[in-house]
């Protein structure tokens, strides 16, 4: 970031913001349910359902 010319404090601010998100979940909405007609899935569920795509010889 610094090499790109951003201010010296930018990396610390960005990392601080990311740490805040990691500590506390953000707000939830019903957007996925309304758009897709089903509840949202967790990343863990999605990864489990698509694990073959990430293994040797898996399909994408």
> What torsion, rounded to 10 degrees, do the Cα atoms 10, 13, 25, 44 define?
40
- Does residue 24 form part of some domain? yes
Is residue 60 included in any domain, yes or no? no
Instruction: Give residue 14's domain range.
Output: 10-54
CA 24, CA 18: separation in Å to the nearest integer? 10
pLDDT tens digit string along 23-48? Answer: 877 788 999 999 999 999 989 999 99
With contact defined as beta carbons under 8 Å apart, do 11 and 2 qualify? yes
43/31 Cα distance (integer angstroms): 16
- Asked if the structure places residue 59 within a domain, the reply is no
Predicted structure pTM score = 0.45
Give the pair of three-digit tokens for residue 2: 């610094």
Q: Is residue 49 part of a domain?
A: yes
What is the C-alpha end-to-end distance of the chain, expressed in Å? 33
Q: Name the domain count of the chain.
A: 1
Quote the tokens at residue 37: 């007609």
Q: What is the pLDDT of residue 58?
A: 61
Q: What is the pLDDT of residue 48?
A: 94
């Amino acid at each position: 970031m610094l090499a790109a010319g951003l201010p010296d404090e930018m990396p610390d601010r960005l990392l601080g913001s990311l740490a805040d998100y990691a500590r506390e979940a953000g707000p939830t909405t019903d957007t996925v349910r309304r758009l897709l007609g089903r509840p949202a899935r967790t990343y863990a569920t999605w990864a489990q359902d698509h694990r073959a795509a990430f293994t040797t010889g898996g399909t994408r």
